[in-house]
Amino acid sequence: MSHPAAGDDHPLVLGPLLRYVDATSATVWVRTARAASVSVRRAGRTWSAPTFGVHGSHYALVVCEGLEPGSDDPYEVLVDEEPEWPLEGAPPSRIRTLDPGRLPSFAFGSCRTTGSHDAEGVAEHGVDALRSLGVALRDDPGAGWPDLLLLLGDQVYADTTPNPQLKEFMRSRRSLKEPPYEEIKDYPEYDELYRLTWAEPVVRWLLSTLPSAMIFDDHDIRDDWNTSWAWRRDIRATSWWQERIVSGLASYWVHQHIGNLSPAQLAREEVYRGVLEHAASGAAGELDLTEALEALATRADAEPETYRWSHTRELGDCLLVVLDSRAARDLQPDHRSMLDPVETRWLDDTLRGGYRHVFVGTSLPFLLPPGLHDFEAIDEAVAQGAYGRPFAHLGEQLRRSVDLEHWAAFNSGFDEVFEMVMDLARGHRGEAPDSITFLSGDVHNSYFAEVSDVGQYGARSRVTQAVCSPIRNPMPRGVRVMMSMLARSLVRPMRWLRARSERAPDPAYPWTVTEGPWFDNNVALCRVLPTGLELTWVTGMVEGTDHDHPWLRVVSTVRLDPPG
């Protein structure tokens, strides 16, 4: 059944987004125009949930349980028992549950700006790879569907607002000549940012029918978020930051985080548990979460060890671990680490053997191009005062100005996680997987890297890094040249320089970039094969002026055979 097209007064403001899916359950997220009961109807069964409110907006996460493994059926969304989705003219949305007998596959990438999809928008932002993937799946229903879309950060850009509709919304509420100027200020502005980012019809349909997992990166909050202790001190001194960080984390919880959780995890989540209890009680009226979410966001920022944004998901006999590499940082100058001690222990407990493949999603690449890794490690030593206070100030300024804040710039945490991974690869945490692959974005170029000759370290797993960035936010051409050099021609000079810097030790397990970098707007596709993995990077292409029908061109394919 099709329903009228959505307008400004449509009961369904945003969504549905199909989020967590396993063999027997699924969750469907929506934003509605009013407090309501939201239902999902599929294969003769119906599941319902009341909306909850935040700052005057209304949301629901409908949990669908008792599904058949390997089933594939269309679904409808009803608001107060009235069918509102799918929209007229749109293809049906479907819930495809995991099939234990099917080899899993997934898509991943990061960094997607908003913008039109006409000639002007393409000239500024390039062809949207996510929208192109949506068109390809929409127009070829028989194509192999991924089991998951993994979005690895910068789902929204809170610190740059090129969208004219968003600017007009902001201008209608406040002066853009006062801090934070044209950056997102508060929760309602985040709400509108998410709406505009996910409302394009093809993308909206894709997100309604392809399960998704997400994690933030810096631009979801602000460029350089938690780069250093000094950065955090300086930003906290502004008049607008506290509202920004609380609004950013609260809106992330609503739009991204709760959809990452399984039904069992939702029942234990400290705030969402209240939503479930309110619904079970039959109490009248909508539950307002504004106060509870602001308290959670305030605490999670001030005491990051008290709340976990990281999450896991099983795909057949594969494990996906998605790491928070932004909010959970330990920024103490004498013990900088990408993960605080609580998060480190969680990862240590989570990385266990017995899976065929293990994927670690972290928005920031773990294995950078070697030349860039060495550059960042040297800068960290300089910024931490290894060569005196005047140089430390210069190192900090360089760190912020050119984003030298990846895992290499948190060397103690980098070494600790690398040892965990190699321990897993050696079979010391249960049966060693065939591969351990880091999945990342952030750097606005894509590449594939691998730890060299792991057998010499007693490892039985291939250890690799796959980066896919951007989905839509191309790197300036001048920077592309430097990134290519840091991946290739500058590797040996940077390694020579690092070897002469006593404060920047060499990595224990060297790696090389074997494929790339590529600078297209990309989405990457990972398929588990009967033996090994296949990783393919695809980019959107437009023929002439036909912007409504972009097609996918293969940029590169990497076949990862089992170790042997």
Contact call for residues 399 and 409 (beta carbons, < 8 A): yes
| Residues 6+ positions from 248 with CB-CB distance below 8 Å | 158, 184, 190, 220, 221, 222, 297
Statement: residue 3 has pLDDT above 60 = no
At 489 the pLDDT is 56
Instruction: Give the dihedral sign, CA 139/143/147/149.
Output: negative
Please say if the pLDDT value at position 1 is more than 50: no
How large is the average pLDDT for residues 234-253?
98
Among the ranges given (63-77, 274-288, 382-396), the one the predictor scored with the smallest mean pLDDT: 382-396
Res 8: pLDDT: 58
pLDDT at 432: 98
Placement of tokens 């505009």 in the chain: 196
- Domain extent listing, the chain: 101-146+310-564
State pLDDT tens for residues 279-329.
999 899 999 999 999 999 999 999 999 999 999 999 999 999 999 999 999
Single-letter amino acid, residue 453: D
Q: Residue 217 has which token pair?
A: 């990166």
Task: For 453-482, write each residue's pLDDT tens digit.
Answer: 999 999 999 999 999 999 999 876 666 655
Spatial contact of 422 and 461, defined as CB atoms under 8 Å apart: no
Q: Which of these ranges, 2-11, 262-271, 364-373, 390-399, has the smallest mean pLDDT?
A: 2-11
Q: Which two tokens stand for residue 192?
A: 């509108």
**397 contacts 520 by C-beta, under 8 angstroms:** no
Percent with pLDDT over 70 in the chain: 93
* Closest CA relative to residue 317, chosen from 98, 76, 62: 98
Q: What is the pLDDT of residue 492?
A: 65
Inter-CA distances, 196 with 19, 92, 443, Å: 19, 22, 24
pLDDT at 391: 77
Predicted local distance difference test score (pLDDT) of residue 281: 93
Q: In the predicted model, is pLDDT for residue 439 greater than 50?
A: yes
pLDDT tops 70 at residue 126: yes
pLDDT class of 493 with cuts at 50, 70, 90? low
- Choice among 44-53, 188-197, 210-219, 401-410 with the minimum mean pLDDT: 401-410
Per-residue confidence (pLDDT) for residue 2, from 0 to 100: 46
Q: How many H helices and E strands in the chain?
A: 16, 23
Both tokens of 286, joined, read 């909508």
pLDDT tens readout for residues 508-532: 999 999 999 999 999 999 999 999 9
Q: What architecture does CATH give domain 101-146+310-564?
A: 2-Layer Sandwich (3.30)
Mean pLDDT over each residue of the chain, to the nearest integer = 92
The tokens of 265 are what? Answer: 């995890």
